[in-house]
Amino acid sequence: MTQFKLLGRIGLFVLALLWPGLAAAADYAAGEMAMGSDDAKVTVIEYASMTCPHCAAFHADTFKKLKAKYVDTGKVRFVFREFPFDNLALRASMLARCSGEDSYFAMVDVLFSQQRAWSRAADPMAALETIGRLGGIDKQRFDACMTDQSLMDLVVQSRMTGASEFQVESTPSFIINGERISGNQALSEFEAAIDKHLQ
């Protein structure tokens, strides 16, 4: 896939990543990646692998509805945790972290929406580098990101914690106030699990 075709597909997602100052940040996003109110009654934790097609399908459809109904209204705090199943998923997660805290979720959106393109490319790392470059991450920073052992350890630890603390074995997996739901379920499944905590 050419850079120009990839750019055309990414569209408006890139604008958030190109905002002045964001791409210049030197440090990766190291904390808990979350959106929504800290005072929300319900916390939804997603464990996802960036190369998982079911995760991409969830973010393309159900997540948007869940976010509009619960996260944007202050009812749910949504936490995204990496659970890489392979080296390429690990590298994609690292790239999202290297985009910075303010651009993290925008980069996750790009990676999921373009998953088929970069994960199946003849040279997936070059495809990831192109996505990074379009998001303001130059080659030097990309190379530094991909060889950052501390960052790699952080992402790997996320998977290890999910497996040991919540017995996560597949992605996507969700922990809703301590209750685990596995798979890209319909919105109604999430509504049932969330609404009982809002009464």
Q: What is the CATH number of the domain that holds 136?
A: 3.40.30.10
Residue 167 or residue 16, greater confidence: 167
CB 198 within 8 A of CB 42: yes
pLDDT at res. 3: 44
Tally of structural domains, the chain: 1
Average pLDDT over residues 41-66: 97
pLDDT at res. 26: 43
Tokens 């798979």 belong to residue: 183
Please provide the average confidence, as pLDDT, over all residues in the chain: 89
Phi and psi (nearest 5°) for 69?
-80, -35
End-to-end CA distance of the chain: 49
pLDDT at res. 5: 44
pLDDT at position 126 over 80: yes
Concatenating the DSSP letter of every residue in 98-110 gives HT-GGGHHHHHHH
Q: What SS3 state is found at 169?
A: coil
Phi and psi (nearest 5°) for 182?
-110, 140
pLDDT at position 7 over 60: no
Quote the CA–CA distance of 15 and 11 in Å, as a whole number. 8
The DSSP output letter for 69 is I
Average pLDDT over residues 161-190: 95
Domain extent at residue 76: 3-195
CB 190 within 8 A of CB 197: no
- Report residue 117 as tokens: 């393109």
pLDDT at res. 199: 82
